Amino acid sequence: MQQLVTRQQAYFQTGATRNYDFRKQQLRRLLELVQAHEAAIAAALMQDLRKSPMEAYATEIGVVMEELRYHLRHLRSWMAPESLPTPLIHFRAKSYTLAVPHGNTLIIAPWNYPFMLALRPAIGAMAAGNTVVIKPSEAAPAVSRILEDIINKHFREEYCKVVSTDAKGAAALVEQPFDFIFFTGSSEVGRKVYSAAAQNLTPVALELGGKNPCIVDTNMHLEITAARLVWGKFTNAGQTCVSPDYIFVPRSMEQPLTDAIIRNIKKCYGSDPQLSGSYGRIIHEGHWERLVGLLKDCQIVHGGSADKEDLYLEPTVVTCSDPKAAIWEQEIFGPVMLLVPYDDMEEALATIRQHPTPLVAYLFSNNDALATRLMREISCGDFVINDAVVHFGDIFMPVGGKGQSGFGKYQGKATFDIFSHHISVYHKRFFPDLSLRYPPYSGKKTSLFRKLFAFTYNR
């Protein structure tokens, strides 16, 4: 791994990756390869997570393709200097920022969206002119093999390389002197990555999880709210870092909303979701056992059926009145929807504040004043009104966490930006060269300088 990083650093120093034509060529090649391997990628996602062809395209393959096309369309303009205003006191100078690559970058991807969350950051890294090491999740071996086929067989390893290794190998990678590390995964592992990167003063972006709260207001559309909650919670069998974790339901609406949620579960996945071609599976036995264990302290309202051999857990709706139960202490990260009845908004907000800052907070309401208030009062990475999860596919919207849910925004141009160092450039001409700035200073010079300052900065 040390040799790989050394070779990539040496290749970056040649300047080959900085050229616009080179960057564009690599992005085009990657797009062509994803298109050519689309069926194999979908098959790998089916093997690892039982993702349906529709879900595989909508949440992974299609997202990567559109990210590539978007970068290809805008790369030249993003690479151009961005002008800044220059004060008059700096006459005959110009100021601007310029996006330059960090250098040698590392991307550590998770297992829940193993294709998209490996290549989406890589697109930004390549577009920004970096060399790239991609470490996919060992928990999704079929997708890891496809990533190796796409990257390692078609790109020179000193430019872009997929390294399939275990946790020990990943730890060895993080210890290398990368110029930038992008990690997506759990908060527990994120802390270890952050700590190891600090030894080399390597900047890091962390996309972590969190118990994402969702507040349902009385002023909402019942059936659409239920449908969007069901889709957002049970897509990918709930194994989504931005899925609603616990849902506050007005006590007066608890039964109607619960009934609507159950109706929509049956509408989406049938009377027996285990037979549905649209419903995924849990990634491995350890995660399945953890999720089943969470149900022990809960009151099951709907679902609860589980099959370890099939790694199946039915879309499940629960309540839990014990604040010390495991389901309140952990991010659920699975197909278990926790409903929490509330009587007033302050009660819901107090509960949210007891938990670490979430990756995203949700509100379902037609009350715009309430939305404006809550987006300012709830500390979170992002805020979504009247939908769930879909903001992660809005290519124009930077997404990312805050505090214990991570830091660093990406998606669309923000992906290019996070893999770039934005240097500030000040360019001054030699003439005129006013003597006012140089000693010896006099009262007259000071008075004139103060007036010039006031005129320049108070406009």
**pLDDT digit string (tens) for 277-310?**
999 999 999 999 999 999 999 999 999 999 999 9
* 274 in Cβ contact with 303 (< 8 Å): no
User: Where exactly does CATH 3.40.605.10 map onto the chain?
Assistant: 2-208+409-421
CB environment 148-165: b (16+ within 10 A), e (fewer): bbbbbeebebbbbbbbbe
User: Where exactly does CATH 3.40.309.10 map onto the chain?
Assistant: 213-400
CATH architecture of 213-400: 3-Layer(aba) Sandwich (3.40)
380 is catalytic: no
pLDDT at 339: 98
Structure tokens at 101: 């690559």
Q: What mean pLDDT value characterizes the chain? A: 96
Does the structure show a pLDDT above 80 at 458? Answer: no
Choosing from 160, 214, 241, 380, the catalytic residue is 241
How confident is the model over 85-98, as a mean pLDDT? Answer: 92
How confident is the model over 225-244, as a mean pLDDT? Answer: 98
- List pLDDT tens digits, range 242-275: 999 999 999 999 999 999 999 999 999 999 999 9
Does the structure show a pLDDT above 90 at 453? Answer: no
Residue 20 DSSP symbol: H
Higher-pLDDT residue of 176 and 436 is 176
* Secondary-structure class of domain 2-208+409-421 per CATH: alpha beta
Q: pLDDT-derived band of residue 454, with 50, 70 and 90 as boundaries?
A: confident
Q: pLDDT-derived band of residue 406, with 50, 70 and 90 as boundaries?
A: very high
CA distance 41 to 57: 9
Choosing from 55, 60, 67, 207, the catalytic residue is 207
214 is catalytic: no
How confident is the model over 331-360, as a mean pLDDT? Answer: 96
The four Cα atoms 125, 130, 135, 140 give a dihedral, to 10 degrees, of 30
Does the structure show a pLDDT above 70 at 422? Answer: yes
pLDDT at 334: 98
SS3 338: strand
pLDDT at 459: 63
pLDDT at 449: 86
CB environment 56-73: b (16+ within 10 A), e (fewer): bbebbbbbbbebbebbbe
Percent of the chain with pLDDT over 70: 100
